[in-house]
């Protein structure tokens, strides 16, 4: 059963500016090293980081205040086929479904929370 839904949109330029200004400590405050393993600096770097930030915010919205989560509790990873998935550092007893998209200017993510099947 679906118990929550969340969406978030991030402007790539804002993420880029924040990373340029605050650098590594900013990235480490948001992302786990496991998430960064698959994101190499290059054309899509800021898009992919923005998309993961949007995905974390979407998960926080979807779980709302019932299951308080911090950004670093939420890992956004990719399956072998490229599909994103969410792994939580603490088990809240729910499944999280994710979808991500990004273009030059914006990244968008949606999250759906459902009871475990």
Ligand X SMILES: CC(C)(COP(=O)(O)OP(=O)(O)OC[C@H]1O[C@@H](n2cnc3c(N)ncnc32)[C@H](O)[C@@H]1OP(=O)(O)O)[C@@H](O)C(=O)NCCC(=O)NCCS
Interface contacts to ligand X, rule CB under 6 A: 48, 51, 78, 81-84, 100-102
Question: To the nearest whole angstrom, how small is the minimum distance from the Cβ of residue 65 to ligand X?
Answer: 27
Is 40 or 66 the residue whose CB approaches ligand X more closely? Answer: 40
Dmax of the chain from CA atoms? 44
Is 93 or 103 the residue whose CB approaches ligand X more closely? Answer: 103
Question: To the nearest whole angstrom, how small is the minimum distance from the Cβ of residue 84 to ligand X?
Answer: 4
DSSP 10-25: EEHHHHHHHHHHHHHH
SS3 assignment for 50-115: HHHHHHHHHHHHHHHHHCCCCHHHEEEEECCCCCEEEEECCCCCEEEEEEEEECCCEEEEEEEEEE
Is 16 or 78 the residue whose CB approaches ligand X more closely? Answer: 78
- Helix, strand, or coil (residue 46): helix
Question: To the nearest whole angstrom, how small is the minimum distance from the Cβ of residue 73 to ligand X?
Answer: 19
- Number of residue whose CB is nearest ligand X: 82
Question: To the nearest whole angstrom, how small is the minimum distance from the Cβ of residue 66 to ligand X?
Answer: 26
Is 24 or 82 the residue whose CB approaches ligand X more closely? Answer: 82
């Amino acid at each position: 059963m679906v118990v929550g839904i969340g969406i978030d949109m991030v402007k790539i330029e804002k993420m880029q500016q924040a990373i340029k200004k605050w650098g590594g400590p900013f990235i480490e405050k948001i992302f786990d090293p496991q998430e960064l393993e698959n994101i190499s600096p290059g054309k899509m770097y800021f898009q992919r980081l923005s998309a993961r930030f949007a995905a974390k915010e979407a998960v926080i919205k979807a779980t709302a205040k019932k299951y308080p989560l911090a950004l670093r509790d939420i890992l956004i990873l990719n399956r072998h086929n490229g599909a994103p998935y969410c792994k939580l550092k603490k088990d809240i007893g729910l499944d999280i479904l994710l979808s991500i998209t990004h273009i030059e200017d914006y990244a968008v993510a949606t999250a759906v929370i459902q009871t475990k099947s």
